[in-house]
Chain A
Amino acid sequence: MIETINLTKAYGNVSVVDGLSFTAQPGRVTGFLGLNGSGKTTTLRMLLGLTRPTAGEALINGQPYAALDRPLQQVGAVLEQGISHPGQSGRAHLTAHAFLAGAGRDRVEALLERVGLAADAHRRTGDYSLGMGQRLAVATALLGDPRVLILDEPANGLDPEGIAWLRQLLRDHAQAGGTVLISSHLLAELAQLIDDVVIIANGRVRSAVPLAELYGGAGGRLRVRGRDTVRLRKVFEEVGGQVAGDEQLLEVDGLTAEEAGEAAFAAGVPIYELTVHTPNLEQIFLDLAGA
């Protein structure tokens, strides 16, 4: 499990992360969302012991990263844009880090195969595309076969096939009981992957809930067209709806499609269109992050 408790990082008088508390549970993929400069990367770095918190705690399996025994066998991390020496081949990069992770050469070869780099393993990483660099970073994170994965924008540079591959890999990891915390700005992709979502803005948590709850909390807005929108507006308001829109199209909050349809039927007003407009993750995120 990943847990932050009142985690704070300040540079001088400026708080980059301000009292951040959230958890990422085993068996689930947790999305970590925030606009640029919201404190995502700083938070992940504090979790990984690369940046010291000003206050609060960042815990993995109940311990600070620095206190973990054989950390690469407990936590795998993807940072920045595929870190490696550009003059070293992909295979050599993995092999060097396999020494540190306590992994053998067979594990290196298996991972190169798994991330689709076996054919390019002899090439210098400086000649890799962004997507290949990200695949190498994922392979590096998996060297110690860790249960916890922390990934900072891992889909950057991946093509659609690569994103689908990564999505499957992370879903499989969570289904096997692993903990996954992933930050990304590719919100549409994230929506298909995550179970829980943590949204931060200005270093503070705006929302930390299961994704389904976030969608539910945002509610579905109804789009309604009918013969007499003036009467429909009045009818919807009488049964508790909040109505916006004009004479052509009404936008109704606070009512289900069933409630709106029944109310219109009871009033005897023909309905031409009744659709539920569910906000996507991007809209919800922008609403919360910008609030």
Chain B
Amino acid sequence: MIALIRAELYRMATIRSSWLLIGLFGVLAASFGMWNAYVWALFAGIGTLGIAAFTVAQHHQHRTAALLYLARPKRYPVLFAQVLTTVLVSWVFAAVTGLPARLKDGNGAVYRHTLWVIPVMAVFGAATAAIVRRASWLMYGFAVWFILVEGIIGRLEQPLPITMYIDASRGDAWGLEVFAVWAFVLLGMAALTLRRDFSAD
């Protein structure tokens, strides 16, 4: 497991496009944090979703998942190492980019609540990517889901994942619990579908 996490962290650090995107998005999130802590929390969540989803999906997009599965034919450790890696990176991403928001927000409640819910968002993103496996489907799928299903149809009031993330980042314990259920149900589905033939991707 340690070797898997180490390899994944090394991989993220040595792919320039990955850390450039994380850096650029981080600057953007931090900038919004100087203006409004809630907007930072939303951007931190989107950034986390992107980090988690693309870390996992890119392995399938570029077929490097085959190399991972050759190294670790029992696939569960691979999935859990990816989840743990994205949780770690996302949490650091949020903790660093949220500093302006922390300073702006008097008691730092949004910052604290967001750091609690960010790991759940990382699990949600990584699990979804492990199920879908295609980066482009994820990108368009998330956009359509968030805007159409949760925004227009649900009016950000239904117990749906992104809505619950937003509520949780504002300190709503119910939102955190519901979002955690979403994330771990998806993680269970990812584990159940993990043994799909690689050639069928």
Q: Which of A23-31, A88-96, A199-207 contacts B (4 or more CB under 8 A)?
A: A88-96
Which listed residue, A41, A42, A72, A95, touches B71 by the CB 8 Å rule? A72
Number of interface residues of A (CB under 8 A): 33
A235 vs B71: C-alpha distance in the bound complex, in angstroms? 65
The answer to whether A85 and B58 have CB atoms under 8 Å apart is yes
B63 at the interface (CB under 8 A from A): yes
The answer to whether B15 and A87 have CB atoms under 8 Å apart is yes
Q: Which of A97-105, A208-216, A255-263 contacts B (4 or more CB under 8 A)?
A: A97-105
If A85-B15, A85-B58, A87-B17 touch, whether A50 touches B10 (CB-CB below 8 Å) is no
The answer to whether B58 and A71 have CB atoms under 8 Å apart is no
B74 at the interface (CB under 8 A from A): yes
Q: Mark B1-39, 1 if CB is under 8 A from A, else 0.
A: 001101100110011111000000000000000000000
The answer to whether A97 and B199 have CB atoms under 8 Å apart is no
A83 at the interface (CB under 8 A from B): yes
If A50-B197, A50-B199, A52-B195 touch, whether A97 touches B6 (CB-CB below 8 Å) is no
Q: How large is the interface on B (under 10, 10 to 19, 20 to 34, 35 or more residues)?
A: 20 to 34
B70 at the interface (CB under 8 A from A): yes
A49 vs B197: C-alpha distance in the bound complex, in angstroms? 9
Residue of A42, A66, A89 most packed against chain B (CB within 10 A): A66
A49 vs B18: C-alpha distance in the bound complex, in angstroms? 29
The answer to whether A97 and B58 have CB atoms under 8 Å apart is no
The answer to whether B64 and A99 have CB atoms under 8 Å apart is no
Nearest-neighbor residue (CB-CB) of A16 within chain B? B199
The answer to whether A42 and B10 have CB atoms under 8 Å apart is no
The answer to whether A71 and B15 have CB atoms under 8 Å apart is no
Chain B residues closer than 8 Å to A48, beta-carbon distance = 70
Chain B residues closer than 8 Å to A102, beta-carbon distance = 3
If A79-B66, A85-B15 touch, whether A42 touches B3 (CB-CB below 8 Å) is no
Chain B residues closer than 8 Å to A264, beta-carbon distance = none
Q: Which of A10-49 contact B (CB under 8 A)?
A: 41-42, 45, 48-49
B72 at the interface (CB under 8 A from A): yes
A88 vs B15: C-alpha distance in the bound complex, in angstroms? 5
A55 vs B200: C-alpha distance in the bound complex, in angstroms? 18
Chain A residues closer than 8 Å to B64, beta-carbon distance = 83-85
The answer to whether A99 and B7 have CB atoms under 8 Å apart is yes
Nearest-neighbor residue (CB-CB) of B4 within chain A? A100
Q: Which of A59-84 contact B (CB under 8 A)?
A: 65-66, 68, 71-72, 75, 77, 79-80, 83-84
Q: Spell out A's residues near B (CB within 8 Å).
A: 41-42, 45, 48-52, 65-66, 68, 71-72, 75, 77, 79-80, 83-89, 92, 95-97, 99-102, 140
* 12 other A-B residue contacts (CB within 8 Å) besides A50-B70, A52-B195: A42-B199, A50-B197, A65-B73, A71-B70, A79-B63, A80-B66, A86-B62, A92-B10, A95-B10, A96-B14, A97-B7, A99-B7
